[in-house]
Amino acid sequence: MKQILIPLLIGLGLVLVLEFGSGADELVLEPGRMAAATLDLRDGASQLWSLQVPEGSHGVEVQLFCAQTDLDIRMRRIRGFRRAGKLPLEGHSELGIEELILTRFTTPAIEPGAYEIEVFWDYAERPYGLEGPLDLIDYELAARVTAPRVDAHPSPGIATPMILDADSGGWRTLEIEVPEGAAALRVDLLYATADLDLFARRGEPVGDLDAVEFSAETELGSETLLITADDDPPLRAGTWYVDVVGYEDFTNTVLGFAVVVSFQEEPPAPLLRFLEMPEPEGDSVLEPALCATVEILTPHGSGSGTVVTPDGWILTNAHVVSDPGDEALEEVVIAVTRDRSMPPQETFRGRVREFDMTLDLALVEIVSGLYDQPLPEGYRFPVPDLAPDGSVRIGDPIWVLGYPVTGGSGSRVSITVTRGVISGWERSLADTWIKCDAEVTSGNSGGAALDALGRLLGVPTSVVAEGDGKLSYIAPLASRPSAWRGALLRRRAAAAAR
């Protein structure tokens, strides 16, 4: 086996090393261009490429395309003449497209220097084509390097629209001039429907996570980064760089959001505008519940819930609003769907008012907007009708609404409806559960289970699976403690009388 080194320097260029037999054509992978190659299984089940990452690179993306079969890729750092232990990144897909991404914010993070990329066939038997087993597999390989850059110089108090897409590499850099005497540097993200984080550094761009001086890292898209003179290190006048980082696969996705920069600790005016919940559209029996179903976000994960009183009380599962010790959280964030093809937007804050881990039920009251602004006096939230006790029979239709993780490919998903039938009931020491065959997965917990008329039957709570079989379990409304039920009915009646 002969090794040929072919350097290529174009801007932030790459150096690739391809090992192949003597007489083979030179293969060079140029940034932004596709290179075609052939894996000869008679000469081994893999090909090795070496990728040289230039100093100062902020991200590397490697893509493999193969129409004939499922090839895989993996890569690792090469230090000097030795390989750095195990291959840290692997791509295994059955779609004919593999992708590996390293950035300043991944684990492992990008480093300058040489990387080994292996394209390989991962099975003992050869793949089959139309005429039998394949000896030669054609594929295409591409690499892209993202360089340091500044994407925006936001003006204080004005919302600056931005996007994350494939060209961005999943991050955007803001350059902000903090004036002398500024009380704070505050950066807020608006309208994001995915998990975004903020990383800041004074004087020069954030080179890696070790260089970060301040960060805002939660499960929310509406992140807030606040730096004041009392922090360590304290806020100082001068040039600050803030990175907005997304964790989606942006190959086929565009995420829009807005940035608001201010030099005060209090939320700026654009953030304090009250956003109403949507009103029902059309005459579908599902409309009231679609408008009343919300996502509940906590530091420990997310789930679903249903607004059940016009003054903003939400019924959900206790495990959705609990900490790892099964104790009730004090506060949660409520996200609302405004575009049903998009994930919901964080809109309100709620407090857990009732909590019963035995029944796995909880009540959350919406108490303010996302930035602690008061709710408008007399505002009425949309609510579904409630199904009377004992109103369903085995075989009746059932609908399940919520935000299951299977409802999308990103960190946040759009509202999702599944349908099934009432499969029966199961009695336990704590409750009698409704069994159904409607699809329920993680994230559905706490959402809405509806009868054929769109009335709220109960709360999707758990699943029982055996092999390929699975049934979903619904906590019926009758499970609510009588004190809860009476209080909710009185609140609904009082709202109807106004």
CATH number at residue 484: 2.40.10.120
Tell me how far apart the alpha carbons of residues 461 and 444 are, in angstroms, rounded to a whole number. 8
pLDDT (tens digit, 9 = 90+) per residue, 336-380? 999 999 999 999 999 999 999 989 999 999 999 999 999 999 899
pLDDT of residue 31: 72
pLDDT (tens digit, 9 = 90+) per residue, 248-283? 877 778 999 999 999 999 999 889 988 889 988 888
- Confirm whether 13 is domain-assigned: yes
pLDDT of residue 208: 79
pLDDT of residue 495: 79
Question: Is the pLDDT at 18 greater than 60, yes or no?
Answer: no
Domain count for the chain: 3
- Confirm whether 8 is domain-assigned: yes
Q: Does 319 lie in the same domain as 229? A: no
- Confirm whether 153 is domain-assigned: no
Q: Does 127 lie in the same domain as 26? A: yes
Last residue of a domain, one of 270, 301, 322: 270
pLDDT (tens digit, 9 = 90+) per residue, 211-238? 899 999 998 999 999 999 999 889 999 9
pLDDT of residue 4: 34
- Confirm whether 154 is domain-assigned: no
- Confirm whether 277 is domain-assigned: no
Q: Does 176 lie in the same domain as 29? A: no
pLDDT (tens digit, 9 = 90+) per residue, 144-188? 888 889 999 999 999 999 999 988 888 999 999 999 999 999 999
Q: Does 181 lie in the same domain as 57? A: no
- Confirm whether 152 is domain-assigned: no
Q: Does 118 lie in the same domain as 190? A: no
pLDDT bracket for residue 485 (50, 70, 90): confident
pLDDT bracket for residue 90 (50, 70, 90): low
Tell me how far apart the alpha carbons of residues 439 and 420 are, in angstroms, rounded to a whole number. 8
Tell me how far apart the alpha carbons of residues 79 and 165 are, in angstroms, rounded to a whole number. 32
Q: Does 170 lie in the same domain as 131? A: no
Q: Does 165 lie in the same domain as 38? A: no
If you ran DSSP here, which 8-state letter would residue 272 be given? -
Tell me how far apart the alpha carbons of residues 151 and 157 are, in angstroms, rounded to a whole number. 18
pLDDT bracket for residue 478 (50, 70, 90): confident
Q: Does 173 lie in the same domain as 121? A: no
Q: Taking the C-alpha atoms of 191, 194, 200 and 206 in order, what is their torsion angle to the nearest 10 degrees?
A: -130
Q: Does 175 lie in the same domain as 135? A: no
Q: Does 393 lie in the same domain as 495? A: yes
CA distances in angstroms from 446 to 294, 296, 319, 342, 416, listed in the order given: 9, 9, 9, 20, 13
- Kindly give, in sequence order, each residue whose CB lies less than 8 Å from that of residue 130, ignoring residues fewer than 6 positions away: none
**Residue 61 token pair:** 């993306």
- Confirm whether 431 is domain-assigned: yes
Question: Is the pLDDT at 206 greater than 80, yes or no?
Answer: yes
Contact 116, 74 (CB under 8 A): no
Q: Assign residue 23 the CATH number of its domain.
A: 2.60.120.680
pLDDT (tens digit, 9 = 90+) per residue, 385-440? 999 988 889 999 999 999 999 888 778 899 999 999 999 999 887 778 999 999 99
Tell me how far apart the alpha carbons of residues 176 and 238 are, in angstroms, rounded to a whole number. 8
- Confirm whether 275 is domain-assigned: no
pLDDT of residue 30: 74
pLDDT of residue 8: 31
Q: Does 431 lie in the same domain as 301? A: yes
Last residue of a domain, one of 111, 146, 181: 146
CA torsion sign for 272, 370, 349, 292 is positive
Contact 139, 64 (CB under 8 A): yes
Q: Does 110 lie in the same domain as 31? A: yes
Tell me how far apart the alpha carbons of residues 441 and 254 are, in angstroms, rounded to a whole number. 26
Tell me how far apart the alpha carbons of residues 55 and 14 are, in angstroms, rounded to a whole number. 11
Last residue of a domain, one of 98, 117, 146: 146
Q: Which domain range does residue 204 map to?
A: 160-270
